[in-house]
Every structure is written in C-alpha cells, then in structure tokens.
Structure 1
C-alpha cells in the first residue's frame, strides 16, 4: 500500500473511531449502576487509546521517508490496541 493510500485509510479510521465513541456515549444512559461504572472505566480507557491513535496519526502525516515504516508500524499497533478496547466495551452490551 502506498503512503497516500495508507494515510487516507488512517484518517478514515480516526473518523470512524470518533463516531463509534460518540455512539457509545449515547448508549451510556441505558446501563444499570454497576454496569455503568465498568462501562465508564472502559470508555475512559478507550478514549485514551483514541487520543494515542490520533497522536500517531499526526506523526504519520508528518513522517519523513526515513521514519515512514517506523511510524506506520506504530500507528498500526495503536489502531489494533483501539480495536481490542472497542471489542471489550461492546461486549458489555451483549
């Protein structure tokens, strides 16, 4: 995958993440108190992962050719971490 395509896909991932977190926040009202505490903790963790992913995206946008592979791997790793966190929080709805 070329650099521009990777950047475009990364940007789309960031936009999707923000939309998913907003959706989760809207569902927050439906939880019982015990579940709500667990949900709030997981949501805070997910938001931290989102912020980390967004920072990695900024690095990706400004990466030099020499640093491209390193930054690309760091972004991909942060993206996987977010996906794991998202799966964890959505499991609370099942």
Structure 2
C-alpha cells in the first residue's frame, strides 16, 4: 500500500472510530445505573485513544520520508489499541 492509500485508510479509520464512539454515546442514553457509569468510563477511555490516534495521524501526514515507516507503525499501533479497547468494551455490554 502506498503512502496516499495508507493516509486515506488512516483517515477512514479515524472516521470509523468517531462513529463507534457516537454509537456508544447513543447506547449510553438507554442505559441506567451501573451500566451508564460503565459506558461513561469506557467512552472516556476510547475518546482518549481516539485523541492519541488523531495525534498519530497528524504525525503521519507530516512525516518526512525518513520518518514515514516510524509514523506508519505508530499509527497502526494506536489503531490496534483502539480496536482492542472497543472489542473489550463490546464484551462488557454483550
């Protein structure tokens, strides 16, 4: 995958992350009690991971040729971290 394709995919990943967080916020509205507080905590954690992902995306967009692979790997790692957090969260509320 070339740089342009990877950047486009990375941007789509961030859009998907935002959509998943929005979905959780909507589900939180129908929750009550302890479940609602679990949603709050999970959403805060995922928003933090999204922020990290957005930071890595900015680094990726501005990476020099010498730093490209490093920035790409950092973004991929942050993306994997978000996916793991989201999958863990789905397990809590399934």
TM-score (norm 1): 0.94
Cα offsets for 1:11-57 (capped at 9, x unmatched): 00001111111111011012231121122111100000000001100
Provide the rounded CA distance (Å) in 1 between the counterparts of 2:39 and 2:22. Answer: 14
* Structure 1 contact 39–92 (Cα < 8 Å) conserved: no
**1:19 alignment counterpart:** 19
**2:47 alignment counterpart:** 47
Write out the 4+ residue segments of structure 1 that deviate beyond 4 Å after TM superposition: none
Query: In the TM superposition, what is the alpha-carbon distance from 1:92 to its structure 2 partner?
Result: 2.8
Gaps in structure 1 of 5+ consecutive residues: none
Provide the rounded CA distance (Å) in 1 between the counterparts of 2:31 and 2:80. Answer: 27
TM-score (norm 2): 0.94
Cα offsets for 1:53-86 (capped at 9, x unmatched): 0110011011100000000000000000000111
